[in-house]
């Protein structure tokens, strides 16, 4: 569910999903890739104690 909301409302992740869709990935593969990216973003925010920077996403 968070991946679907991120695709809808987070511009960098929306562009990421659109790029995967243009490459011919399935809907489930796109959602899985966005979920993985969200986990990596969350880990980076926690590890470095800095707020999310969309230009790095």
**What residue segments make up the domains of the chain, in order of their start?**
2-56
Dihedral Cα 46, 50, 55, 57, nearest 10 deg: 0
| Interatomic CA distance for residues 4 and 37, integer angstroms | 12
Contact 35, 3 (CB under 8 A): yes
Per-residue pLDDT of the chain (57 residues; tens, 9 = 90+): 899 999 999 999 999 999 999 999 999 999 999 999 999 999 999 999 999 888 876
Prediction pTM value: 0.88
């Amino acid at each position: 569910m968070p991946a679907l909301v991120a695709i809808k409302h987070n511009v960098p992740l929306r562009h990421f999903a659109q790029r995967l869709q243009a490459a011919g990935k399935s809907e489930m593969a796109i959602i899985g890739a966005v979920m993985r990216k969200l986990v990596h973003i969350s880990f980076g925010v926690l590890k470095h104690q800095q707020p999310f920077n969309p230009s790095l996403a």
